Amino acid sequence: MPVHAITPDYKGDVKDRLENFHGNQIVYVGWDHHLMFCAAFAYPLPPETPFRALRDEVMPEAFSLHPEWSKIDWSAATWLLDGQPFEPQLDVALKDQGIGHKSLLRFQTPDLKGYKGAGV
């Protein structure tokens, strides 16, 4: 039973369905083992956004405050998309490489251990 309600066959109103975001989809991006940022960031983006634009134009505003941001070697970074290993194609749209509404992207930079090597 998907809900214990007094109303038979009660259906909830899906507040975050894609149509409610005026042409955008939500994409979350988190940097593993870098807790200077308390949580992954949420971005509303057109599904046609190329991955390169997300990485090079959207992400830097918030992520670049980290002292290690400028040291990232993107060719060595690894990614997870919704928990699965993922190889982003830089010039392909988000929607055309499986990055859906409310997908979570996580990236790992194993050579960078965070501020003072403490995962910060």
Partner 1 sequence: MAAKKLNIKDKYRLLTRDLDWEFSYQDRNKAFPFEEFEGIKITDWSKWEDPFRLTMDSYWKYQAEKEKKLYAIFDAFSQNNGQLNISDPRYVNALKIFLTGVSPLEYQAFQGFAHTGRQFGGVGARVACQMQSIDELRHVQTQVHAMSHYNKFFDGLQDWSHMHDRVWYLSVPKSFFNDARAAGPFEFMVAIGFSFEYVLTNLLFVPFMSGAAYNGDMATVTFGFSAQSDEARHMTLGLEVIKFLLEQHEDNVPIVQKWIDKWFWRGTRLLTIVAMMMDYMLPNKVMSWKEAWEVYFEEAGGALFKDLARYGITMPKYADVIEKEKEHISHQAWWTFYTHGHAAGFHTWIPTDEELDWLSEKYPDTFDKYYRPRWELAKEMEARGERFYTKALPQLCTTCQIPMLFTEMDDPSQTCYRDSVYNGDRYHFCSDGCKDIFDDEPEKFVQSWLPVHQIFQGNCGGPGVEDILRDYYQMNVGVDNMDIKGSPDEERWKKWKGVA
List residues near partner 1 by CB under 8 A. 2-6, 10-17, 20-22, 24, 26, 28, 30, 32-33, 35-44, 61-62, 65, 67, 82-83, 100-104, 106, 114-116, 118-120
What is the C-alpha to C-alpha distance for residues 79 and 30, in angstroms, rounded to an integer? Answer: 10
Nearer to partner 1, 38 or 75 (CB): 38
CB of 58 to partner 1, least distance (A): 9
CB of 36 to partner 1, least distance (A): 6
Nearer to partner 1, 39 or 91 (CB): 39
Q: Tokens at residue 25, please?
A: 């989809």
